Amino acid sequence: MPDRPATRHACDDAALVALARDLVARADESWPLAELAAPFGLSPSAFQRRFTALVGLSPKALQDAARLGRLKSALKAGSPVTEAILEAGFGSTSRVYGEAQRDLGMTLSAYRAGAAGEIIHWTARETRLGWLAMAATARGVCFAQFGASPSALEAELARASPRATAPLDAWIDALDAHLARHAPAPELPLDLRGTAFQMRVWRFLQGIPLGETRAYADVAQAIGAPKATRAVGTACGANRVAVLVPCHRVLRGDGALGGYRWGLARKRALLEAESAARP
């Protein structure tokens, strides 16, 4: 079992990363901030700033995310809800319902059943940038992805939302108009589901103005995690809602395109179109 942080003294990145691994591995344990900070010779607030700047999450948020990940894995494996909550390290059922159901976007029993109690509408359309599928829950768009064909998109949607049902049209029409005719980007409700860090990144991306770009390092700095540049790139790659969460507006520090899960040709085309349409 890893040592408690009392054995560490140098407040360097390697020591903080090792501590972060300990926090994730033992997410069911209580780690008071003052106890974490003391061996590094920092005040609790200074320690939290340093840790968050490197990892992207505070120690508490990191443990919360680790517990939620364990809960999701246990539910997907078919464990009973109460048993899954305890397996994840929440300690009691009362602690988890509000927090976890908010992050999952549904009840724990519905998540365990593969969203059986949730209606997800979807449709696919050939747009200026190729085939695009969009799916939405009652809360908003949860899936918008480009693909090679309708069948490929349907298979991807089945993996993400196995019980998606009848198609929707008005919202994808609005997005298609934006792509094809430079109409204003539609302000559609979104149903985003991800880790705490991913959600911070995605919310920031939604605030990048049309026709502008940011570097991965700029995003990391803006969300208070300046050393988490690589994690920002990973969060962009995990985005399931193309264009509406504009991860295409994030570039490498040297101005190169960087990555894009739906292909660099689409990323370049989106940026060129948005630059031309900018007021």
Distances (CA, A) of 206 to 46, 216, 270: 30, 14, 15
CA 21 – CA 244 distance, rounded (Å): 33
Please, which residues have CB within 8 angstroms of residue 153's CB and are 6 or more apart in sequence?
124, 131, 132, 133, 145, 147
Whether 247 is catalytic is: yes
Catalytic residue among 11, 142, 236, 247: 247
Active site positions, annotated: 247
